[in-house]
Amino acid sequence: KDKMKNVTIIFVIFILSYDFGKTDIAKIFFFIFSFQ
């Protein structure tokens, strides 16, 4: 279940980063979620 949750979070971050056109945003979110 935790794995599926992480995949969902990464997928959402990917969409957000795609909409904003900045991979830096995805890196920042991934950096934050990696500590939670």
What are 4-36's pLDDT values in tens digits?
Answer: 888 888 888 777 766 666 667 777 777 777 776
pTM for this structure? 0.41
Higher pLDDT, 30 or 1: 30
What is the residue range of 7's domain? 2-33
**Whole-angstrom Cα distance, residue 6 to residue 29?**
12
Give pLDDT, residue 21: 60
What pLDDT does 1 receive?
66
Rounded to whole angstroms, the Cα distance separating 23 from 13 reads 10
Number of domains making up the chain: 1
Q: What is the pLDDT of residue 19?
A: 64
Under DSSP, the state recorded for 35 is: T
What pLDDT score does 33 carry?
Answer: 76
What pLDDT is attached to residue 16? Answer: 74
